[in-house]
Structure 1
Amino acid sequence: MQLTEPYIQLYKKIGYTFADSANLARALTHRSANKKHNERLEFLGDAILGMIIANELYERFPLQPEGKLTRMRSNLVKGDTLAALAREFELGDLLLLGPGELKSGGFRRDSILADALEAIIGAIYLETGMAVCEPIVLQWFAQRLNELDPQSVSKDDKTRLQEYLQAKKFPLPLYEVTDITGQSHEQIFYVECTVAGLKQATVGRGNSRRKAEQKAARLAFEKLSNAE
């Protein structure tokens, strides 16, 4: 496939040229546009990104405890950070969206941008393996990694809940998507958070799985804290 100018510019920004541009096209395809969309690549990229960042933090901060490393990793791989990176790469201009998403401005939505970035990571990994993928991803995060201060990284709601449960020697929380409503371009996710110490699961809702999980975790932490 002949390279188009938008892809050439993106290759320069991400520091990688796909051997098969169809792999990049798949990574940029939202489920609203085609049955062959990027969700499986996003699933893979999410796991690879987490491992790359975890390994880098482990090596870079040898004196920091698990809790601090967890918070730093969460700060780097959270949806807001990934969406910001996607905007730096101008992914919104290249996303393949269905008519509904185009009409509602899906190319600006954090969750869609973050998922596309993770899908690109998954696609790079499939083409090249970890040895090539890892330094590329670390270069994307280089400035943010260099600016990390272990003492100032705030805890997100999932991390705060996890640390609370670990201190009590309780099992880790379980998150489950129980429902997804709305059209593909305006989906609302419902997530249940089940924790020891609460008779009922807490429920969070949001326009992405991540946001729904965070809200469910916050509710669980508040209920556990109030019960003390």
Structure 2
Amino acid sequence: MKYAKLYEKIGYTFKNEAYLDHAMTRTAYAREHETPMNETMDSLAVLGDAVLDLVMICEIMAEGEYDKGEITRKKIEAVNMTVVRKIAEQLELPSYMRWGKGELRMQIWTSGRVSAECFEALVGAAYIDGGVEAATKIIRTVRMPQGSAK
């Protein structure tokens, strides 16, 4: 199973591994291999970004925070690019990604935004595969900072 180690690290096994394949496929790779664009990570990264926000806001509120400004500040602190990039690197997501030739040459995954998008796509794929419960399980397993935790 090509994702066995990843499943272990995220604490979730995809029911439909095609969603994870999509999350691990960059647009450049898809263009080079005539893969349909709906089988790439882009839309999943957008969805995953929103799901991360949702889950973190729920976690912050569950900790007892109800001030709008504080919720927003804590959410931004928890899901900023540096935090999300670090998680992607800890999960070794770049090693699972299907990169385009130019991306491989340039080692584009060293860009903070690109690595962060890989994790966002993973969360988006989990949401489609298993709902908010699956996404929440992954986020909790990888120890996303919650609320005021630093």
Post-superposition Cα deviations, 1:159-194, rounded to whole Å, max 9, x if no partner, equal xxxxxxxxxxxxxxxxxxxxxxxxxxxxxxxxxxxx
* Alpha-carbon distance in 2 for matches of 1:138, 1:80: 17
Q: Deviations over 1:69-119 (max 9, x none)?
A: 211100111111111000110111111110111111113221111111111
Partner SS, residue 33 of structure 1: helix
% identity of equivalent residues = 27
Where does 1:148-159 land on structure 2 (aligned, <5 Å)?
148=149
TM-score normalised per structure 1:
0.58
- Could you tell me which of 37, 48, 55 is aligned with 2:58? 55
Partner of 1:99: 101
Residue 42 of structure 2 corresponds to residue 39 of structure 1: yes
Letter of the 1:148 partner, please give it: A
Indicate the SS of the match to 1:145. Answer: coil
More strand by share: 1
In structure 2, C-alpha distance between the alignment counterparts of 1:85 and 1:147, rounded to whole Å: 18
Report the RMSD for the aligned CA atoms in angstroms: 1.8
> How far 1:23 moved relative to its partner?
1.5
Determine the C-alpha separation between the residues in 2 that align with 1:40 and 1:75.
24
CA contact (8 A) 2:109 2:115 kept: yes
Out of 85, 92, 104, which is 1:83 matched to? Answer: 85
Which structure features the higher share of helix residues?
2
Aligned-partner residue type, residue 10 of structure 1: L
Aligned pairs, number: 143
Which residue of structure 2 aligns with residue 125 of structure 1? Answer: 127
Higher Cα Rg: structure 1 or 2? 1
Aligned to 1:194: none
Distance 2:99 2:88 in 1: 16
Residues in 1 aligned to 2:13 and 2:49: alpha-carbon distance in whole angstroms? 20
Q: Tell me the distance in 2 between the aligned counterparts of 1:31 and 1:99.
A: 11
Matched, 1:20 2:16: yes
**Amino acid in the other structure paired with 2:108:** G
- Superposed counterparts of 1:1-228, under 5 Å: 3-4=1-2, 7-34=3-30, 35=37, 36-62=39-65, 65-141=67-143, 144-145=145-146, 148=149
- Matched residue of 1:129: which SS? helix
Shift of 1:61: 3.2
Tell me, in whole angstroms, the C-alpha distance in 1 between the residues paired with 2:21 and 2:137: 22
* TM-score normalised according to structure 2 size: 0.86
